[in-house]
Amino acid sequence: MSHQIIIQPSGHVFQVEPGETILEAALREGFSLPYGCRNGSCGICKGRIIEGTVAYGNYSEETLTEEDKRAGNALFCCASPLSDLVIECHEIGAIKDIEIKTLPCRVHRLDLVAPDVMIISLKLPTNQRLQFLAGQYIDILLKDGKRRSFSLANAPHDDELLQLHVRNYPGGAFTEHVFTDMKVKDMLRFTGPLGSFFLRDTPTDTAIMFLASGTGFAPIKSILEHIFYQDSNRNEKRKMTLYWGARTKADLYLMNLAESWQQQHDNFTFIPVLSDPLPTDNWQGRTGLVHEAVMQDYHNLEKHQVYACGVPAMVKAAYHDFTSYRNLPKDAFFSDVFTPSTSNPQIAREP
């Protein structure tokens, strides 16, 4: 049977049908709850159950602890109602009017930019465009019913081609196909745009910090290129810094692009960080973990917003250390976590 959900503090009401999670039903009925991975790993969709009971579903116990559950919290991407509910959750106004579509597309270009990173450019049918916010992602629909999520790396104003950055993840249901069998002119289907990782309104005295690991650079590229496009018509420009972490120099697969941004925009700084540079890299730059480079450079992040994207360990460490030791407000940290398909074979962010 279906159950009624009331969202507080907005008072919005929607119905959850049998077999749906709270998040699935909210999105179906046009209510924009925050979410990211949709497989219980990132914690972005965590909210409070004020009244009623739920089945918690499959989730990471690190993300939803027993203490969380005793406090009334649940992950709305996994939880299904067992009764009518009243939930507490902050709705996101910016994405509520953007239609989620399922569309065909054709592979227009395949660019191998690193030994294990492919940039896929997708072309939509002539009469179609995808409206999205910089930082959002799409789900590639596989023939067996599984989905694989990839961030859109192009900016919304530059939407003739949709760009995905795909790492060759061992055992990845889609990524291995990309590197072995995919050809230009192949047809794909996707659903999108999805996710709540996008730039929030920023006071002019608030600096913006971007933190990427590996192909977590993709959505940040989209956001930054859109900011640069918008800032060309503004007098006041926000201070922005990008820390991009990778293992070796080759993993910084578009480092020249990020360096060109720094040359073109005096309000932007790019800091690459390698955790395990090769002797042949001749690396003279920063080394270590990318979020620790931020900790070394900043003793106070109170007047910052942070946008972090990449592997779970990096994102979780950054959130903990920045909010615990560098005064970053908890509501000023926004993230998109890449979780491998082993965590949920049906829905995954293949890095």
Tell me the CATH number for domain 207-337: 3.40.50.80
Q: What pLDDT is attached to residue 343?
A: 44
H/E segment holding residue 225: helix 217-231
Percent of the chain clearing pLDDT 70 (strictly above): 95
Average pLDDT value for residue range 254-281: 97
328 vs 345: which has the higher pLDDT: 328
- Give the model's confidence band at 349: pLDDT under 50 very low, under 70 low, under 90 confident, else very high: low
Domains of the chain, by residue range, sit at 3-91, 99-196+343-349, 207-337
Q: Which residue has the tokens 């503090």?
A: 9
pTM of the model: 0.85
Least confident of 76-90, 166-180, 244-258, 329-343: 329-343
Mean pLDDT across the chain: 92
Q: Name the CATH topology of 99-196+343-349.
A: Elongation Factor Tu (Ef-tu); domain 3 (2.40.30)
Burial class from Cβ neighbours inside 10 Å (0-12, 13-18, 19+) for residue 327 reads middle
C-alpha distances out from residue 229 to 76, 232, 261, 304, Å: 35, 6, 12, 21
Q: Name the CATH topology of 3-91.
A: Ubiquitin-like (UB roll) (3.10.20)
pLDDT digits (tens, 9 = 90+) for 198-228: 998 877 789 999 999 999 999 999 999 999 9
The terminus-to-terminus CA distance of the chain in angstroms comes to 37
Q: What pLDDT is attached to residue 38?
A: 81
> Does 273 score more than 70 pLDDT?
yes
